[in-house]
Amino acid sequence: MSDAPKRHLSTRVIHAGQHPDAATGAVSTPIYQTSTFAFTDADQGAARFSGADPGCKYTRLGNPTVAALEACVADLEGGCGALGAATGMAAVNAVYLALLGSGAHVVATDALYGPSRLVLETEYSRYGVSATFVDTTDLARVEAAMRPGTRMLYVESPSNPTLAVTDLEGCARIARAHGALMVVDNTFASPLLQRPLELGADVVVHSLTKFINGHTDVVAGMIVARDPQLLARLRKVHQTLGGTMDPHQAWLVLRGVKTLALRLARAQANAQTIAAWLEADPRVSWVRYPGLASHPQHELASRQMAGPGAVLSFGVEGGFPAAKRFIESLRLATLAVSLGGVETLVEHPASMTHAGLPRAEREAAGIRDDLVRLAVGCEDERDLLADLDQALTVAQHVPQPVTAR
């Protein structure tokens, strides 16, 4: 990290990690679309593979376009460095594989992104890794779940899709006391709203697909570490496994991250308005959004985060049948998974992103059948409210059975 005084985050999203191209003066970081890099002589090749020369050698092992994005996200998160990944799950799996082994135990947020939880339960368990999923908003439960063999405390905050907010400083203290590493999925907040490394976390993971890219046109992931030794361990495993980032992916995300502050401010303002409107509507049974005073961790979110974000969840009066009619009746919001783009997306987690979890586990984590997740975009809030209003009206209309005459 540079020793220069830090600029504000809304400036750093535009400039961090990027400089005019040394060869051409190009202001936009070029796409170095190449698989390999030429050496001037055999000694230079040997020096690069030994690490004495930091220059590029093969794109799986490093690429200038990818490096620019890695430097940008590391700067925003306050880490010592970062590793670009092909997808968010490639980033998650690199962290699991690098830091866990046979006999290791993980304590994790129960309402975790579906695949992040499922891969621990169904795949890593085959290699002797065990996991306990708890409500990490309750520090007493986190403490009680820790074991002598616990090697990782994996927290998602705000959680997907319940929007639960975990005390990251409190969890970091528990992890350190037990000799475990703390990993935080910071996708929902982005580094503009929350920086877990500053709160004691060791590693941060992102699905760059979401807010950091923000245009629903690329999938990518990122790992950020606080400690250089930990980063070196993660890099070794990540590069060897091959789930690294392509330079064109990196360039698309570099283009997207420049507008992160603008996009997030608009989407968050829309979400705050929509959440308050939904909470006051009798056709809605409940709303969960960190920006509402009714949120169980509203005070914590106000202290820990720079803003409540742009994702909310709620229940439609009438349960799942009404929720299904609601999401199918929206005309502006798009029925699709993912979040963080400029357009508003809606989905039903219990039957979509978290369908792989057994019903009992889903419900224990607060992922109810009536839960609708709304990822708010940058449209005019008046159009979004009109769309929600008409869909809620349709949702309350119970179709009458057709009887034979």
pLDDT mean over 45-71: 96
Whole-angstrom Cα distance, residue 259 to residue 63? 23
Q: Average pLDDT in the 316-336 region?
A: 95
- Work out the average pLDDT over 41-56: 95
* Residue 95 to residue 156: CA distance in whole angstroms: 14
Q: Is 58 a catalytic residue?
A: no
What is the predicted pLDDT for the residue at 355?
73
According to the model, what pLDDT value does residue 3 have? Answer: 43
Report the b/e string of 249-258 with b at 16+ CB within 10 A: bbbbbbbbbb
Q: Hey, CA dihedral for 387, 388, 389, 392, is it positive or negative?
A: positive
Amino acid at 385: L
Catalytic-role residue among 60, 176, 233, 368: 60
Domains of the chain: 9-30+62-257 (3.40.640.10), 261-394 (3.90.1150.10)
In sequence order, what are the beta bridge partners of 84?
222
Nearest-5° Cα angle at 14, 231 to 312: 80
- Given a cut of 70, is residue 2 above it in pLDDT? no
Cα angle value 349/137/312 (rounded, 5°) = 35
Examine the residue annotation and report whether 236 is marked as an active-site residue of this protein.
no
- Return the bridge partners of 312, or none: 374
Residue 58's pLDDT is what? 95
pTM (two decimals): 0.94
Residue 320, token pair as written in the block: 């799942």
Q: pLDDT band at 356, cuts 50/70/90?
A: confident
> What is the C-alpha to C-alpha distance for residues 267 and 341, in angstroms, rounded to an integer?
9
Alpha-carbon torsion 135, 177, 124, 59, what sign?
A: positive
Instruction: Please give the residue that has the higher pLDDT: either 320 or 403.
Output: 320
Distance CA 292, CA 308 (A): 9
Instruction: List, for residues 176-212, the tens digit of each pLDDT value.
Output: 999 999 999 999 999 999 999 999 999 999 999 999 9
Exactly one of 117, 151, 210, 266 is catalytic; which is it? 210
Which residue among the candidates 113, 124, 154, 289 is catalytic per the annotation? 113
C-beta separation of 187 from 88 below 8 A: yes
Burial 23-48 (b: 16+ CB within 10 A, else e): eeeeeebebbeeeebebeeeeebebb
Tell me the β-bridge partners of 108: 133, 154
**For 317-344, what is the mean pLDDT?**
95
Q: Would you call 60 a catalytic residue per the annotation?
A: yes
Q: How many residues can be counted in the chain?
A: 405
Rg of the chain's alpha carbons, rounded to an integer? Answer: 22
Q: Which of 110, 185, 202, 370 is catalytic?
A: 185
pLDDT tens digits, 243-291: 999 999 999 999 999 999 999 999 999 999 999 999 999 999 999 999 9
- Catalytic, 210? Answer yes
Closest CA to 184 of 161, 163, 168: 168
Do 220 and 82 form a contact (C-beta atoms < 8 A)?
Answer: no
The encoded tokens of residue 356 equal 């792989």
